[in-house]
Structure 1
């Protein structure tokens, strides 16, 4: 390569792109194709041409004009890109693209505080509740069982508390019984305390109905009378 060609390449220019775009585009829901379109729009804006057409974008990427049109619509609809109307000194209206929505979303993502993990905060309380109901300290094996529910089975702490409540109502305060309750709920798609409560009520109604049905099936009981005893 000749020296003049090298100089020409160096003078071609550079586009300044914030590192935030590279660090956060995936976190705010953009894929690589969408990101590349936005980078090209950024380049057009820097070059003083703020409203490239789908055809002009298609010439720079491996997408058809119609695909670029759909991408632009999607980016505007999902608040990554904005079309702005402007007016020049001659009162002529013209449109431009703005990447302000994109950077707003990145800033929101960067400074948003994660919601506190309620389950994490409640785990310590969970062991205390079990010990209160059992009226004794938990054994190491019992603690390990609760750990398995939380870490491996991924049961929510509120659901475990609800299962404990069901065991208290049934008068069966042991972890094997509670484990069967949790397994039964999981098998039947029960994931929240409200769903567990509804499921428990349906189950109890069903059991009551079976008991009444069995009682109706019993033959009538007569007093044990000795008909020969006439005295």
Structure 2
């Protein structure tokens, strides 16, 4: 088909969107996240103020949807949320969209001001912990949920995945996914299937995965699949290498993503640091591995050959300063390097 240009005659009333945002961020964001970010650019450009409830009304979203979208963009370092002393959201600082190295200074754009308490007495408190806390559902709420036609089918499918009838507690957990996390039936279906495929049928595990997805702003199975693949490749192998099992905590995942994304280390370099960590300590392994990788990052390690060069330089520096010789150690080393017929020695020991 014929290619064409896009142009506009009157550009006086426009909202500027970074090309980097379009090229690198837009493809991974869902509908709500995109609308809210573009709306923030619009509000900032016009010098207006807004609030979580205003944004929710603008796009017919829930306030929880808005909060999740803001958290999503904050995690992607496109904005910073500001709070007052009462931990109420008081401002949103949009960050410049640019490729940054670990040592770059983050440039700041103007703040999108939210209404003061005089303008809007009602403030939305972004309490993530309470937002993702499972309520104590009543028996009536449980029955109402079970009696919905779409719910009955979902529960039937879940039972097929789990391989047994669901308990009331497990049904309440699924209600939590739909009611509090705003998961669709398709996403709940995919969630349970994903966990069962990993050999995890415990609903406590499934709930932890669901909350981690909600915190990431995941709303579709496609997004969940992409997020799961990212974690499979960049997190779980490292967890295993450090002797860890189960779902990584946010702090653990942040460490690994820093090593991978911020430092730009390849998998083999990260696993090399993990191997050295396991040989050195049983405690605080993530912190220990981070100290190794931070040092390698400062010394501009890019390949395993760079690590070998650092090791050799360190060994030479140690050899320059002679240490007092340990006579007993010398004798032990001489004994260990002597040539013995170990097979004959073993026979002699067994015969005594």
State the TM bucket, normalised to the shorter chain: 0.3 to 0.5
Q: Answer with 1 or 2: which has the greater Rg.
A: 1
| TM-score using structure 2 length | 0.28
